[in-house]
């Protein structure tokens, strides 16, 4: 039986029919009212088509040490070529490419300094760690159709999730596991970006004890402690992670942080905290795991206690592609989880028994949106 198209479907078919016509495209470029719109859409589409080249340019400039070198002082083309072991022509070509995306900027006398984007990147440890980490993801995306056909977790990126999967099945994990260490290091480097948004949005002074679930080596807790030294802190993560976390925390002067080893899939969560945080944890897991975790958090909190959720979310205004395009494929390659909207989390939180959920303001919602749920 044929389905009658809705008004919206008929409108979209009509619109797309016009947009596909070369005559309409030529007319749109001629008319003053449509010319700027057409140019903007054309530039945006070209950016989508060529974005991988820009990313590889960025990766090359970072890998060659040019960002770090130019952060110290300007350098000539010859000096940068010597650092990279590249001939002059290749060095000049890469510098021109980097300048076009504002990573570097030309100076008189064939010298170079950082561009505005390069300067912002130079001190951002989290972004630099992500650039290094993304090499595995880009390998997986070399053939995106093959990646999707082979099922979730079939690529190189899945190795960074293997330690959690093993622990969830009850298999032994080593404290010196390479994937565990690499993933924890990545999370520690990029955590301050998220922590800054949380600390500006929530007044931690109203709480007595914070338990951070999946806290790795304590990067988020360290940021909280720097601003709220009187707050009691506790960390819960897999045994091979917390084995190293104690030493890392002690080295940062946080030896008093209570460290708990376990798997939130199988073990009850520690009680006694009036605030529990899940910072970039939920979108890494599938729905049934997330729903069970939210129920465990609800059970561990006292009446009136709060759960803090901070992570990038699908449907974020102005960052829609970050949610469904980037995280959608990233988590597919990772082999676990999916991007969720704030509304999806509200539904899951209500199902877990939380009474009230509100979203806190975030200066950079593409980095993290923040939900606070009351038990």
Specify the range with the lowest mean pLDDT, choosing from 271-275, 316-320, 357-361: 316-320
- CB atoms near residue 57 (< 10 Å): 18
Which of 72, 101, 122 finishes a domain? 122
Structure tokens at 372: 């606070």
Q: Is 234 left (phi over 0), alpha (psi -120 to 50) or beta?
A: beta
Shared-domain flag, residues 113 and 188: no
> Do the domain assignments include residue 140?
no
> Do the domain assignments include residue 349?
yes
Q: How confident is the model at residue 166 (pLDDT cuts 50, 70, 90)?
A: very low
Helix (H) or strand (E) holding 370: strand 369-374
| Helices and strands in the chain: count of H runs, count of E runs | 17, 10
List the beta bridge partners of residue 357: 373
Residues 274 and 208: beta-carbon distance below 8 Å: yes
Shared-domain flag, residues 242 and 331: yes
pTM (two decimals): 0.81
Structure tokens at 295: 């129920």
> Do the domain assignments include residue 138?
no
List the beta bridge partners of residue 309: 278, 371
Residues 220 and 368: beta-carbon distance below 8 Å: no
Residue numbers of the domain that contains 236: 151-374
Q: How many domains does the chain have?
A: 2
pLDDT per residue over 3-50, tens digit each?
888 989 888 888 888 888 888 888 877 888 777 888 887 788 888 888
pLDDT of residue 19: 83
- The residue among 90 and 153 whose pLDDT is bigger is 90
Shared-domain flag, residues 52 and 189: no
- CB atoms near residue 47 (< 10 Å): 10
CATH of the domain at 17: 1.10.10.10
Shared-domain flag, residues 165 and 304: yes
């Amino acid at each position: 039986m044929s389905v009658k198209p809705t008004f919206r479907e008929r409108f979209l078919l009509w619109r797309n029919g016009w947009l596909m016509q070369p005559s309409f495209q030529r007319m749109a470029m001629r008319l003053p009212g449509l010319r700027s719109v057409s140019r903007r859409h054309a530039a945006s589409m070209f950016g989508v088509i060529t974005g991988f080249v820009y990313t590889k340019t960025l990766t090359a400039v970072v890998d060659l040490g040019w960002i770090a070198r130019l952060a110290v002082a300007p350098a000539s083309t010859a000096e940068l070529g010597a650092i990279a072991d590249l001939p002059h022509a290749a060095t000049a070509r890469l510098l021109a490419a980097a300048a076009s995306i504002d990573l570097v900027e030309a100076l008189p006398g064939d010298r170079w300094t950082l561009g505005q984007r390069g300067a912002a990147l130079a001190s951002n440890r989290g972004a630099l760690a992500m650039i290094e980490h993304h090499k595995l993801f880009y390998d997986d995306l070399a053939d995106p159709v093959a990646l999707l056909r082979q099922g979730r977790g079939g690529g190189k990126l899945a190795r960074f999730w293997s330690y959690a999967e093993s622990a969830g099945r009850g298999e032994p994990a080593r404290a010196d596991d390479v994937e565990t260490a690499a993933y924890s290091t990545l999370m520690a480097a990029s955590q301050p970006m998220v922590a800054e948004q949380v600390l500006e949005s929530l007044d931690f002074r109203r709480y007595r004890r914070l338990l951070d679930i999946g806290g790795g080596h304590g990067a988020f807790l360290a940021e909280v402690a720097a601003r709220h030294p009187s707050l009691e802190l506790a960390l819960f993560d897999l045994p091979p992670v917390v084995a190293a976390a104690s030493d890392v925390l002690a080295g940062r002067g946080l030896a008093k942080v209570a460290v708990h080893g376990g798997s939130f899939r199988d073990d009850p969560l520690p009680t006694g905290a009036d605030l529990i945080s899940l910072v970039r944890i939920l979108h890494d897991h599938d729905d049934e795991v997330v729903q069970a975790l939210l129920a465990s958090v609800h059970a561990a909190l006292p009446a009136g206690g709060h759960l803090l959720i901070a992570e990038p979310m699908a449907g974020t205004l102005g960052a829609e592609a970050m949610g469904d395009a980037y995280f959608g494929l990233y988590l597919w390659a990772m082999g676990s989880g999916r991007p969720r909207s704030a509304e999806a989390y509200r539904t899951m939180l209500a199902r877990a028994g939380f009474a009230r959920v509100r979203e806190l303001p975030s200066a950079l919602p593409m980095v993290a949106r923040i939900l606070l749920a009351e038990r």
